[in-house]
Every structure is written in structure tokens, then in C-alpha cells.
Amino acid sequence: MKFRRLGLPALFLSGALLGSGVTAAIAGQPHMYNALHDLQAAKAELEAAATDKAGHRVNAINYVNQAIGEVNMGIQAGRM
């Protein structure tokens, strides 16, 4: 299960958020949270890359930002 790779920090975070209901949302949407995590990691890698890519790096960052927004909206929709 891919969700397990988040490891101890995710476990700590989910325990800290137990009272807020976020843990139930994570448990109910593990693939969406995995996608969000992977997109955030991709964004960090793109931002760390050398800037001279003929505009493609910046375009990729913009597309990743759009994808992050869509995943966040999907998570919200899944909570309803």
C-alpha cells in the first residue's frame, strides 16, 4: 500500500489531528493524499532544478500547481 511510505511523520500528524476529523478523511482518501504528497514532492524537485529549461520548468511548475489545486478540490468533494 503506497500510503505507508509516508511513515512516522504521517502517523504523528494523523495522531495530532485525531480530534479534528482529518484522520478520518486521510483514512478514507489515501490515494488522493498520496497523489497530493507526490505532486508536492514533484514541485519541490522542479523548483530545485536549474532554471535554464527554455520555459518548460516554469510551465511544469504551473501545471503541478494546477494539479495540486484539483486534488485539493477533489479531497474536499470527497468529504461531502
Spatial contact of 39 and 74, defined as CB atoms under 8 Å apart: no
Q: What pTM value is reported for the model?
A: 0.67
The CA distance from 2 to 17, in Å, is 21
The CA distance from 57 to 20, in Å, is 37
Domains of the chain, residue spans: 2-79
Rg of the chain over Cα atoms, rounded to whole angstroms, equals 15
Q: What is the pLDDT of residues 28-45, one digit of tens each?
A: 899 999 999 999 999 999
Q: What is the pLDDT of residues 52-76, one digit of tens each?
A: 899 999 999 999 999 999 999 999 9
